[in-house]
Amino acid sequence: MDILLTHGYFLEEDEHEREIMRPYPPLGLLYISAHLKAKGFAVEVFDSTLSNRSAFTDYVERERPSVVGIYVNLITRASALAMTRLLKRQGATVILGGPEPGNYPREYLSAGADIVVAGEGELTLEELLRHLARHGQSGLEAVDGISYLDDDGELVETSARVQIPKLDEQPFPDREAIDIPAYMDVWQQHHGQRPVSLITARGCPYKCRWCSHSVFGYTHRRRSPENVVHEVEAIVERYNPDMLWYADDVFTIHHRWLYGYAAELERRGLKLPFETISREDRLNEQVVQTLKSMDCYRIWIGAESGSQRILDRMERRTDAERLVEMVKLLQRFDIEAGMFIMLGYAGEEWEDLEATVDRLKAALPDIFLTTVAYPIKGTKFYEEVADRIVPLTESWETGTDRLQTVAGRRSKRFYNFATRWMVSEVALHRQRKLSQGTLLGQAKSYVNARVGRAGMYLTRHELEPAITEA
């Protein structure tokens, strides 16, 4: 084995996610595995999601991998560092990558990692593995896209790695390296669906101040419609899913590409229900009609706020008023509309929360999720509030940017109240519409409020109980 790839997320340790039970495979690792195998490396993947920590310990002690790459994100810092400590005791070289380590290279290296990879992992790991095999950890300054500590303990950050220019030339994710059917079984058991996820592009060119771009920067690189359809064909042949999840940042960002992709799917007789994410400004009637022709059943819109003032502060470049029109347009084509709402962004006042509730009432999305804004290192939002970030009460190693609060902002209790108020206001408004007969065709609509990983999960379920609880 030249390298073991793994990540620090264990579903059994995530109380909120166990309530939702919507796990997705680690596509990033599977892309890296496929790339390295295509270059002749022997790669193993330990998928921690549906496993447990003792199984990982047993695997490491049995296999004793010499080089291990760990994907780390905001919620897996402590877990990844615990895995790092175990691996170092076994004598492994530990390489960390993903969206989190590049923001804290010194901290991760000081906590035991040997090398931190910034940005895309495929080309960097390809070169790094060849270098380690020939030279060990000497001369690492020759490898682009990494950070490490030199013999004096000083942080060395090499030149940025050039990104992969032609995604069509990359192999499809190495799904055979993990148990995809196990994910599908979990979904079948809890949701009556058997999905498979994929991405058609990398990166997002928008510059929302709170959003991290630590892996792909502000680039947007898209695969050809034909290449993506080839992957869909392979997915259908191997796994026969009953739905797809397109995990792009903004699936409908390129309209000409979307129309070409829809045409290619139709030409090959492929039509699977799917859901994905978009933005208000990248939807219009032709786009929505195309999505419906492809059998899209749900679109998530990054609304973030119903206050145009807050959207402008975020540099979101979207229109709060048009958002309502787009939700109604989706529903007119019988596509469920989901919305992401962010509370607590810098400068938000009660009037902005009221504006958000007014937009939600006007739009009446089928689902909405809320979260409270938190400053992620490396973002413009972080820079804006850096001097007001309240230090974590726990150590950096066991904390996360998601726990960071900003001095002068309202309390966690306030945002809990605001979320419940928001849910109940929208639910009551929907009930009034139903009782007035202005939501004909939605007689079975209902509301269910529950806290998930992203925040409040609102669907058309159990209206009266939700209102009573709120």
150-167 per-position pLDDT tens digit: 999 999 999 999 999 999
pTM of the model: 0.90
Quick one: pLDDT at residue 436?
82
Average pLDDT over residues 381-409: 89
Quick one: pLDDT at residue 269?
96
Contacts of 372 (CB under 8 A, 6+ apart): 342, 343, 344, 412, 415, 455
For residue 40, pLDDT over 90 is answered with: yes
Q: What is the pLDDT of residues 307-346, one digit of tens each?
A: 999 999 999 999 999 999 999 999 999 999 999 999 999 9
Percent of the chain with pLDDT over 70: 93
Per-domain boundaries in the chain: 3-157, 176-469
Three-point CA angle 167, 170, 172, nearest 5°: 110
Percent of the chain with pLDDT over 90: 84
Average pLDDT over residues 247-276: 97
**Class of the CATH domain delimited by 3-157:** alpha beta
Quick one: pLDDT at residue 67?
98
For residue 453, pLDDT over 60 is answered with: no
For residue 466, pLDDT over 70 is answered with: no
Q: What is the pLDDT of residues 13-39, one digit of tens each?
A: 998 889 999 999 999 999 999 999 999
For residue 186, pLDDT over 80 is answered with: yes
User: Is 70 in a helix, a strand, or coil?
Assistant: strand
Average pLDDT over residues 406-412: 90
- What CA–CA distance (Å, rounded) separates 338 from 360? 11
Average pLDDT over residues 43-50: 98
One-letter identity of residue 335 = I
Q: Which residue has the higher pLDDT, 432 or 34?
A: 34
Quick one: pLDDT at residue 57?
97
- What CA–CA distance (Å, rounded) separates 194 from 275? 13
Fold classification of 176-469 is pyruvate-formate lyase- activating enzyme (3.80.30)
Q: For residue 282, what are its two tokens?
A: 């990248």
Quick one: pLDDT at residue 439?
59
